[in-house]
Amino acid sequence: MPIDRNTIKLLRIPFSFFLAPLFLFAYSQAEVVMHRQALWSFLIIHLLVYPASNGYNSYIDRDEGSIGGLEKPPLPTIHLFYLTLFLDVAATVLAFSFVNTLFAVCLVLYIGASRAYSSRQVRLKKYPFIGFLTVVVFQGAFTYYMSIAGISGEALRLDASNIFVLLGCSFQIAGAYPLTQVYQHEQDKREGIITLSYKLGYIGTFVFTALMFLLCNVFYYLYFTSRDLGMVFYIVQVFFIPIVIWFGVWFWMVWKDRRQANFRNTMRMNWIAAICMNSCFLVLIIINRIPLSYLSSIETAVPEYGYAQETLTDFYLRSTDDLTTRRKIRIVAGKTGIEKRYSVIGDFDKKPEAFEFFNKNATLLPEPGLTQRMQLYQKHATALSRKAVEKIADFEHIKKSITHLITVTCTGMFAPGLDVELMRELDLDPTIERSAVNFMGCNAAILALKNADAICRSNDGAKVLVVCTELCSIHFQKRYNDDYLLSNMLFGDGAAALLVSSKPDDGYLHAVKIDGFNSMILHNGYSDMAWQLSETGFIMNLSSYVPDLIRENIKPMLNAVGLKAGDYRHWAVHPGGKRIVDDFAAALELDKCLLAPTYNVLKNYGNMSSPTVLFVLKEVLEKAKPEEKRDRIFTAAFGPGLSIETMQLQYV
């Protein structure tokens, strides 16, 4: 059965452009997007269902005057009727086959309502209010709901904000629909159809439309503000401006001359509205689909051996008989602000004859070599890392969606490395992309997070597992220069694991968005924090000038990148040492109470190198309060070079 050009013309396929905004709006707002199904949904609705509805309406009404999209429509034939049936059946089959059942069921209901609206047997369109409500509900809220089902594969959750958006969509159609009928009054009357627009009259239709769009805006405002997206509402208003201008001009023209309520002016209104709304929602899609990065689920772990600072001090004291050295050890220990540290080594509270790692004598000589220290690292690093990772809530389920693994360490190395060991121990997907941040010191966690942030911003759906593990205590050495007096009294062992993803989750009271990073290298501190490999372990350089360098440079650094300390209410600062924290607070004129989490971690764990700042950040995030939404968090850590790394976060 041949299908002529006029039959195709009566499908009014280009008219789908005017009906596309609600689908695009749904695409921009869907929490989950299944792109293949979303494409199928769009094609099914706009190339099959809408044209079928247009064609069926034309076949039943046999319009001789202008109709939406056609100023001079041709007369329909029976071919049009059969084509509309074919399109509806094809749409339903494709929906069940390539989208999902919920979408397909919604589609069948929409087709049924569309047929009931036009058919001679039911003819809902001849009833001004029932016909109006049918269009408003099915082309408004129902279309948005159906679109979400197709785009995300899930039913729209009917919470307050989504009820607001459904009402907004319906009022948007409620405003537009009577206006599209304003030029058809006489033609509809000849066919025995009394539309709402006819009952309202020309001026009444414009007034009614203005009221409906006002209500539409009210509910869109409630929707966006309830989701803390108030700025998006104002973006929408910018796109509404041309619509409002032409609406006002056209209203004035009709006020002066009723003949201006004609087909051409109506189509001009349709084109302006469709171009503006489609453009608006395409912009929202771009805004909402640009991947961001969110931090969640920081978990920490320490070894089984925990020692009071006094115990570790006594161990160090017993290694020397020099009274001056012993006095220096006591002075340094008393100023650290540390009460407890952890270690994988069980020797620190034992008598020499019970030592398992150190040589069994009070002098500790000969000291363990680098080989022994790396063997101890390999023995414990993976287990401690796994201990932290497995604390992540529902990790067995989450691990299936992890796309990247970043490991961080500077206290040991072996191959295959910590990353491969963790993949095997945790049974992670062998195709996960992995990388390692090695030998970069106390600020390496922020460097790893910078990499995770870049991954998430460039890969929609990325989920990055970051694991920082340091066994600082295995590098305890029998040295008594100023560098080792500091390092032996500061450092402990620990691990931290966290997830960074391109989508927010409910790991904390508020989602934690990563806002940015800044770095600075202080070349005049090049030798003040450094270490090198040696036959007996890592040789540490940790100068007492480090706090001075940080104090003198942290504020100029923030000024250079336009950051103000007053903009941040929460601080997660790496506790490199008590004086470093004190001087950091003084340099930025911060109340030390703001650094309470930093002091707490220093007190209870010491400096564990890279994971330490994550211990602090974990404490900050777990103390979040409902009223702190939108608050900003500043994170800083200090490493070799001397380098300062900062990260800015925000509760959203």
C-beta neighbour count of 559 within 10 angstroms: 10
Catalytic residue among 442, 456, 468, 472: 442
Q: Are residues 248 and 338 in the same domain?
A: no
pLDDT of residue 495: 98
Let me know whether 93 and 198 are in one domain: yes
Backbone angles phi, psi at 589, to 5 degrees: 55, 45
| Residues 98 and 208 placed together within one structural domain of the fold | yes
Look at residue 531 and give its three-state secondary structure. strand
Is the same domain home to 488 and 381? yes
Residues 492 and 446 in one domain: yes
- Read off the tokens for 90: 């094809």
Sign of the C-alpha dihedral computed for residues 110, 56, 170 and 226 taken in this order: positive
Same domain (yes/no): 185, 55: yes
C-alpha to C-alpha distance for 582 and 335, rounded to whole angstroms: 12
442 carries an active-site annotation: yes
Contacts of 397 (CB under 8 A, 6+ apart): none
Same domain, 343 and 460: yes
**What is the residue whose two structure tokens read 């890392």?**
385
Q: Is residue 3 part of a domain?
A: no
What is each CA distance from 230 to 157, 233, 278, 326, 415, in whole angstroms?
21, 5, 20, 63, 51
CA 572 distance to own-chain centroid? 21
Please tell me the predicted confidence (pLDDT) of residue 143: 96
- CA dist 200 and 180 (Å) reads 13
Residue 223 lies in a domain: yes
Domain annotation covers residue 12: no
Helices (H), 193-343: 196-226, 230-256, 263-289, 309-317, 323-335
Which own/partner contact pairs does 563-568 have at CB distance under 8 Å and 24+ positions apart?
Answer: 563/518, 563/634, 563/648, 565/589, 565/590, 565/634, 567/632, 568/632, 568/633, 568/634, 568/648
Task: Look at residue 6 and tell me if it is in a domain.
Answer: no
**pLDDT at position 247:** 93
In a domain, 283, yes or no: yes
Q: Assess if residue 516 is contained within a domain.
A: yes
Residue 97 to residues 101, 103, 174, Cα–Cα distance (Å)? 9, 11, 33
355 and 230: one domain? no
Measured distance CA(493)–CA(470) in Å, rounded: 6
How many Å apart are CA 406 and CA 455, to the nearest integer? 11
Provide the number of structural domains found in the chain. Answer: 2
CA 27/CA 285 separation, integer angstroms: 7
Same domain, 106 and 154: yes
Distance in angstroms (rounded) separating the CA atoms of residues 162 and 366: 71
From residue 56, give the alpha-carbon distance in Å to each of 50, 110, 122, 142, 263.
Answer: 10, 14, 14, 20, 21
Question: Where a domain ends, among 260, 289, 318?
Answer: 289
Q: Are residue 272 and residue 411 in the same domain, yes or no?
A: no
Boundary (domain end) residue, out of 289, 314, 346:
289
390 and 507 together in one domain: yes
Instruction: Please report the pLDDT score of residue 527 as a whole number.
Output: 64
Q: What is the CATH number of the domain that holds 588?
A: 3.40.47.10
Q: Residue 235 belongs to what domain range?
A: 20-289
For the record, the structure tokens of 397 come out as 């389920």
The domain spanning residue 104 has which CATH number? 1.10.600
Query: Which pairing describes strands 294-301 and 493-501: parallel, antiparallel, or unpaired?
Result: antiparallel
Residue 7 covered by a domain: no
* Rg of the chain on CA atoms, in Å: 34
Report if residue 11 sits inside a domain.
no
| Predicted local distance difference test score (pLDDT) of residue 542 | 62
| Predicted confidence (pLDDT) per residue in 404-430, tens digit | 999 999 999 898 999 999 999 999 999
Instruction: Please say which residue of 235, 255, 289 terminates a domain.
Output: 289
pLDDT tens-digit series, residues 190-233:
666 777 788 888 899 999 999 999 999 999 999 999 887 788 89
440 plus 299 within the same structural domain: yes
Length of the chain: 652
| DSSP category for residue 353 | G
Weakly modelled stretches of the chain, pLDDT under 70 = 1-3, 63-69, 71, 187-192, 525-531, 540-545
